[in-house]
């Protein structure tokens, strides 16, 4: 989402018109759900996706038509092989897509995009209100209060992280991305940080060694910290929405960090290493009085079992497990059901 609005600003600076395509409703089986966005310019897709395959191709064609006509509108696509709105796809569902024309002459669009990026930088949730008459959207804060633009209707009841469609507007939640805190700045962390950033995590890297906690080693990271493994709370506060990965430069450091992290409400705790190492650390912590319930939270050996070997493969393995655990947590909270095609 952040990159998409950064793209909008860049394109508007060049005076290029755009179309923002967004799924309003999704019924049955479909690759992407309500709220999925795709930005299209005169040269085609710029960022995002509304489903791939035939439906994405048709959406790009519809967006180009909206660019030519300088207008907004809605269109339905049947993800089946027959029928009046058929895309030829065999998913079996149906999506309604809104095509929002963005006029570079309207300075409000750039101001809106800048406001969205400020909210993201400040880790504040909110709502983008797409108006189904094609006018410039509004922006609400996390409590549903208007903070940019105008909205003729009072905000409906807004459930956390769920899209809401009314006759006049489409309310799209602007999420605060989960944070991944990586303890250790070695070669595996350097491979993992860009992968986690690509899949929607805000990345913090923490190492006790100055040479492994240089920001230039982690250009995708939001924060890089050189701190004390014996007192991590002095440098970073772990919250209930944080995903912690422990991959320091020694078993003793891993033990120290894990001991402290298990006293926090972290959403996920993963520790790199062999089964023997995991058993050793678990036994030591249990001897110190750490309860079994806390130890059962730890994913160690970390990652999905894909027989990873290189740092890059290990990064993919860890990211896969974290994506899965994040999806499970979102479902438990009743927020965003996943759209995995393999379910």
In tens, the pLDDT along 298-331 reads 999 999 999 999 999 999 999 999 999 999 988 8
Give backbone dihedrals phi and psi of 152, rounded to 5 degrees, phi first: -70, -35
Residue 338 has pLDDT above 80, yes or no: no
Q: In this predicted structure, what is the pLDDT of residue 265?
A: 96
Q: In this predicted structure, what is the pLDDT of residue 342?
A: 34
Whether 2 is covered by a domain: the verdict is no
Q: In this predicted structure, what is the pLDDT of residue 81?
A: 53
142/244 same-domain check: no
Q: Can you read off the two tokens belonging to residue 132?
A: 């189904």
19/46 same-domain check: yes
* Share of residues in the chain with pLDDT > 70 (%): 90
Whether 80 is covered by a domain: the verdict is yes
Query: What CATH number should be reported for the domain holding residue 299?
Result: 3.40.50.720
Instruction: Give mean pLDDT, residues 213-222.
Output: 96
Residue 28 has pLDDT above 80, yes or no: no
Q: E-strand spans in the chain? A: 18-27, 37-41, 44-48, 73-78, 94-102, 126-131, 138-141, 146-148, 164-165, 169-174, 179-183, 202-207, 223-226, 242-246, 268-271, 298-299
Q: Are 178 and 202 in contact (CB under 8 A)?
A: yes
Q: In this predicted structure, what is the pLDDT of residue 343?
A: 36
Q: In this predicted structure, what is the pLDDT of residue 321?
A: 97
Whether 341 is covered by a domain: the verdict is no
Q: Can you read off the two tokens belonging to residue 283?
A: 């036994």
Q: Which residue has the higher pLDDT, 343 or 98?
A: 98
Q: What is the mean pLDDT of the chain?
A: 90
* Share of residues in the chain with pLDDT > 90 (%): 76
70/95 same-domain check: yes
Instruction: Give mean pLDDT, residues 59-77.
Output: 94
Picking from 174, 198, 219, the residue at the C-terminal end of a domain is 174
117/84 same-domain check: no
Residue 84 has pLDDT above 70, yes or no: no
Of 176, 178, 106, nearest to 141 by C-alpha is 176
Instruction: Give mean pLDDT, residues 83-101.
Output: 70
162/212 same-domain check: no
> Domain count of the chain?
3
Whether 142 is covered by a domain: the verdict is yes
Q: In this predicted structure, what is the pLDDT of residue 331?
A: 84
Q: What is the pLDDT of residues 136-176, one digit of tens each?
A: 999 999 888 999 999 888 888 887 668 999 999 999 999 88
The listed range with the strongest mean pLDDT (28-37, 67-76, 89-98) is 67-76
Residue 85 has pLDDT above 70, yes or no: no
Residue 241 has pLDDT above 80, yes or no: yes
> Please, which pLDDT band fits residue 341 given cuts at 50, 70 and 90?
very low
Q: In this predicted structure, what is the pLDDT of residue 340?
A: 40
Whether 337 is covered by a domain: the verdict is no
Give residue 17's domain range.
8-102
Instruction: Give mean pLDDT, residues 260-278.
Output: 94
75/155 same-domain check: no
83/136 same-domain check: no
317/186 same-domain check: yes
Whether 211 is covered by a domain: the verdict is yes
276/191 same-domain check: yes
d(CA 339, CA 36): 11
């Amino acid at each position: 989402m952040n990159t998409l609005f950064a793209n909008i600003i860049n394109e508007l600076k060049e005076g290029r018109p755009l179309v923002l395509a967004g799924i309003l409703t999704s019924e049955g089986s479909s690759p992407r759900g309500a709220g999925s966005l795709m930005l299209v310019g005169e040269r085609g897709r710029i960022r995002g996706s509304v489903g791939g395959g035939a439906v994405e191709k048709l959406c790009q064609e519809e967006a180009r038509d909206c660019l030519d006509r300088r207008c907004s509108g809605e269109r339905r696509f049947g993800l089946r092989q027959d029928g009046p709105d058929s895309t030829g796809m065999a998913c079996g569902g149906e999506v309604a897509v809104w095509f929002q024309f963005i006029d570079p002459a309207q300075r409000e669009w750039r101001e809106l995009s800048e406001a969205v990026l400020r909210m993201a930088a400040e880790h504040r949730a909110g709502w983008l209100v797409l108006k189904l008459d094609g006018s410039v959207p509004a922006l609400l804060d996390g409590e549903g209060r208007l903070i940019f633009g105008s909205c003729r209707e009072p905000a409906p009841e807004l459930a956390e992280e769920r899209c809401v469609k009314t006759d006049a507007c489409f309310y799209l939640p602007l999420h605060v991305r989960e944070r991944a805190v990586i303890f250790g700045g070695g070669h595996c962390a350097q491979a993992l940080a860009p992968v986690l950033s690509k899949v929607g995590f805000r990345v913090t890297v923490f190492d006790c060694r100055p040479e492994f906690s240089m920001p230039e080693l982690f250009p995708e990271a939001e924060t890089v910290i050189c701190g004390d493994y014996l007192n991590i709370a002095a440098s970073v506060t772990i919250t209930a929405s944080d995903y912690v990965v422990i991959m320091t430069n020694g078993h003793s450091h891993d033990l120290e960090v894990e001991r402290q992290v298990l006293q926090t409400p972290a959403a996920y705790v993963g520790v790199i290493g062999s089964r023997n190492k995991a058993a050793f650390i678990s036994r030591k912590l249990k001897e110190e009085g750490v309860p079994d319930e806390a130890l059962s939270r730890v994913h160690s050996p970390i990652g999905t079992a894909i027989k990873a070997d290189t740092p890059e493969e290990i990064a993919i393995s860890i990211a896969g497990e974290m994506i899965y655990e994040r999806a499970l947590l979102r479902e438990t909270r009743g927020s965003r059901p996943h759209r995995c095609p393999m379910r």
